[in-house]
Chain A
Amino acid sequence: MEKDTTQKLVEYFRAQIREDPDVASAVAAIRSLLEFLKRDQSETILGLRENQTKAIQRLEETDSSVAVSSGGELFLRFISLTSLEHPDLSQCKNVMIERGELFLKKISLSRGKVGKLCHTFIKDGAKILTHSSSRVVLKVLENAAADNKRFTVYVTESQPDSAGKLMAQKLHNLNIPVTVVLDAAVGYIMEKVDLVIVGAEGVVESGGVINKIGTYQMAVCSKAHNKPFYVVAESFKFVRLYPLNQQDVPDRFKYKADILKTVKDLNQEHPMIDYTPPSLITLLFTDLGVLTPSAVSDELIKLYL
């Protein structure tokens, strides 16, 4: 019975992503969790929470991105961070659902907020370097283009899934001049660009970011050339991890979910993400405002406490 409901959950999640490819995976996950909550048949609040936690775990197994895990945890905290002292369970549940809808609405708007904040940092005639395909960066560039700014974009190919080519196509549709460069050409192209903007899969407690593999290299290069390195991320991507170095990032984020289940020797596999320490990041643009990496910890304490 339980397997059935979690199966339905995963299907709902996958359907969400299919219908709206532009939505962040975390938003889709939260929508599914909300739907799951609505259909939940538990008799107690504790039961509800347990089912939610299990659902989050199940979704993490499907899509092993940091954002799903952080988004799920924040969702759970947000809906239960209210007085659930009502004697009637259905009333409690309604309160939780209401808060869930509120949370969902808030985070659906977050990408727009980030876009509005960041596009002012792009000056006319700027040359921008970005990495792989990020929907938030796309929104930022869209806003800048709508503001009648002229700029060119260099995108890295971002192997092994060639996500960069997808990004280039989308930018081309927006009539923004774009060039695809090899991952190995980041050092070569760095002297030409004015600023680097990347998205993030997760923002960690130290103020560093977890993003597609190749981001760390780009950050080190931009530091060496003294170019500003900006990260754009919504606030639901803030996660309570604190990696000390690349090896300290948990394996469940580094590799895709199906690889974790099937492959025995992970040393033969390529990790999909890497960790960029806060010393290499100039500014982070979030829907909570423009933050320095050291301010992220402050915001995290506020979000999670």
Chain B
Amino acid sequence: MGDRLTASTMLQNEGKELTKEEKQRLRKEKKQHKKNKKDDKGPPEKEKEKEKASVPAPSKPATQSPAHKAAPAPVHASESAAAAEKPAKSKAELRAERRARQDSERTSKQGKKEGGQQSASSKPKATPNELQPVVKRLPEHVQVDDPAALKKLAKKLERQQVPLRSDYGYKVSLFSHLHQYSRKSPPTLQISIPATVIHPSIVRLGLQYSQGIIAGSNARSVALLHTFKQVIQDYSTPPNEELSRDLVNKLSPYISFLSQCRPLSASMGNAIKYIKKEISNIPSQCKEEEAKGKLQACIDSYINEKIILASEAISKYAIEKISDGDVILVYGCSSLVNHILCKAFEKQRKFRVIVVDSRPRLEGREALRRLVKKGIRCTYVLISALSYILPEVSKVFLGAHALLANGYVMSRVGTSQIALVAKAYNVPVLVCCETYKFCERVQTDSFVSNELDDPDDLIVTRNGKSHLENWQTVKSLGLLNLVYDVTPPDFVDLVITDLGMIPCTSVPVVLRVKNVDQ
């Protein structure tokens, strides 16, 4: 028991405020408390707790210790259940069994890097008496109405010393499984300044995300990568630790904090995966300064290749599709689409643009400002006038937040509406997306995984009167401010990526090719 505890403390981050001994003591107390609880209950309740502990195990890939911690609990439960059901086995046999199981678990865990398969491996060992179906874990941010998942998250954040942000206001029942935060209470209110656990530039970044100062898929990813460069710069390896493992562990509370500020986008997720891989691939004999320099160079090259050069390549392909006399419709403010149009204008193509905008973000105004500054002829409409202006349009250019593995396009809410109406008018729809935004997820509707923005944004003040001001007092009223929606591939005619022009159904081919490359 003692050696297991020290092993897990070695794997875990060292909190800056709680010392090692304090944490060890805390954990011992918790284990004792759990064991006492289990001895009081009968075997059927043990089975129930076993399942609850093994099924919604945390899904964050960074630390190995949460899964490690979950393993002792089910192991405890199973061995006491086994003892109750098979009184014939002697205590010595049981202890030997338990030790063998723990040893095999520990070696298997140290062999694996990312945490995705850990619960699948610990679950079959934890419940040997049942046929264990392989349960795919849902990410935490779509399980807000499940109290067990919330408890797990709270425990994890407490351990990482990251403040937990509470939901705000009444949630429409169809979306009660998602978080809904208010902009007036950012998570930075609960941290002491200067923050000791979380790097100050991460705090700043989180605030910028939660207040909407940095918005847009590319902007968020680039800001994240620059902040990570700063973090790596300021990092120093503690004694007896390896940079490759410790830095990854250091990054997880930062990532938890950022996802508390605003849920991570698919592009940010891919960027984080890349950084973690690069960090773990640092050879152990590499000196600290050299390693840090290498990592910063990696991040710079990632930004350069995947974002900047990719947009150049996409512009090249897209300009072939813009012919003289075109009327192009764009929606909202996509940095990539704006870049394409500016480049096409520089190449002396004659076209005009119709910018479609929607409340409450009114991002189209930013796009309009940028295009007009270049000198492009623009028209501005709200999305309610879409079917009125579509007969004039020859092409629709849309940006994307992410491209899912089944060919669906996840983008700003309103995009699927535009694609649908364009299809009805037989206007070709072109989606422009860099390959680093492709993700392995599959989604067929906009409900299962989305983001709920601050509902107070929907309140509009006209002539000094805001009619929805006291919406919380009306029990039957809910305000829904969705951020993303999902467009099926039948409505999209062409996807322009840095690899070329592909039909929407070929996204899994690109993912396959990318995985082979890596």
Residues of A within 8 A of B (CB): 205-207, 242, 244-245, 248, 278-279, 294, 297-298, 301, 305
Residues of B within 8 A of A294 (CB): 503, 505-506
- The answer, among A206, A245, A248, A305, for a CB contact under 8 Å with B503, is A206
Residues of A within 8 A of B505 (CB): 294, 297
- The answer, among B395, B426, B430, B501, for a CB contact under 8 Å with A205, is B501
Q: Please, how many angstroms separate the alpha-carbon atoms of A159 and B428 in the complex?
A: 30
Q: Please, how many angstroms separate the alpha-carbon atoms of A207 and B505 in the complex?
A: 11
Are B503 and A278 closer than 8 Å at their CB atoms?
A: yes
Say yes or no: is B502 at the interface (Cβ < 8 Å to chain A): yes
Assuming the contacts A244-B321, A244-B493, A244-B494, asked whether A301 and B503 have C-beta atoms less than 8 A apart, the reply is no
- The answer, among A242, A278, A301, for a CB contact under 8 Å with B513, is A301
Residue of B nearest to A298 (CB): B509
Residue of A nearest to B499 (CB): A301
Residue of A nearest to B407 (CB): A294
Residue of B nearest to A279 (CB): B490
Q: Please, how many angstroms separate the alpha-carbon atoms of A278 and B493 in the complex?
A: 10
Are A242 and B509 closer than 8 Å at their CB atoms?
A: no
Assuming the contacts A244-B395, A297-B509, asked whether A205 and B502 have C-beta atoms less than 8 A apart, the reply is yes
Q: Please, how many angstroms separate the alpha-carbon atoms of A207 and B321 in the complex?
A: 18
Q: Please, how many angstroms separate the alpha-carbon atoms of A294 and B501 in the complex?
A: 13
Are A297 and B428 closer than 8 Å at their CB atoms?
A: no
Residues of A within 8 A of B321 (CB): 244, 248
Are B395 and A297 closer than 8 Å at their CB atoms?
A: no
Are A301 and B506 closer than 8 Å at their CB atoms?
A: yes
- The answer, among A205, A207, A245, for a CB contact under 8 Å with B428, is A245
Assuming the contacts A242-B501, A244-B321, A244-B428, asked whether A298 and B506 have C-beta atoms less than 8 A apart, the reply is yes
Assuming the contacts A244-B321, A244-B493, asked whether A205 and B513 have C-beta atoms less than 8 A apart, the reply is no
Residue of B nearest to A242 (CB): B501
Q: Please, how many angstroms separate the alpha-carbon atoms of A244 and B490 in the complex?
A: 14
Residues of B within 8 A of A279 (CB): 490
Q: Please, how many angstroms separate the alpha-carbon atoms of A304 and B324 in the complex?
A: 30
Q: How does the 8 Å CB contact mask read for B478-518 relative to A, with 1 for contact and 0 for none?
A: 00000000000010011000000111011001000100000
Q: Please, how many angstroms separate the alpha-carbon atoms of A205 and B496 in the complex?
A: 12
Can you add 16 more A-B contacts, CB < 8 Å, to A244-B395, A245-B428, A298-B509?
A: A205-B502, A206-B503, A244-B428, A245-B426, A278-B503, A279-B490, A294-B505, A297-B502, A297-B503, A297-B505, A297-B506, A298-B506, A301-B502, A301-B509, A301-B513, A305-B513
Residues of B within 8 A of A278 (CB): 503
Interchain nearest-CB distance for A274 vs B (Å): 15
Interchain nearest-CB distance for A291 vs B (Å): 12
Residues of B within 8 A of A301 (CB): 502, 506, 509, 513
Residue of A nearest to B428 (CB): A244
Residue of B nearest to A207 (CB): B503
Residues of B within 8 A of A244 (CB): 321, 395, 428, 430, 493-494
Interchain nearest-CB distance for B171 vs A (Å): 38
Residues of A within 8 A of B490 (CB): 279
Residue of B nearest to A302 (CB): B509
Q: Please, how many angstroms separate the alpha-carbon atoms of A294 and B492 in the complex?
A: 13
Residues of B within 8 A of A207 (CB): 503
Are B506 and A242 closer than 8 Å at their CB atoms?
A: no
9 residue pairs bridging A and B, Cβ less than 8 Å apart: A206-B503, A244-B430, A244-B493, A244-B494, A294-B506, A297-B503, A297-B505, A298-B506, A301-B509
Q: Please, how many angstroms separate the alpha-carbon atoms of A245 and B394 in the complex?
A: 10
Residues of A within 8 A of B395 (CB): 244
Interchain nearest-CB distance for B488 vs A (Å): 13
Considering the complex, which residues of chain B in the window 410-456 have a beta carbon less than 8 Å from any beta carbon of chain A? 426, 428, 430
Q: Please, how many angstroms separate the alpha-carbon atoms of A294 and B502 in the complex?
A: 10
Interchain nearest-CB distance for A296 vs B (Å): 9
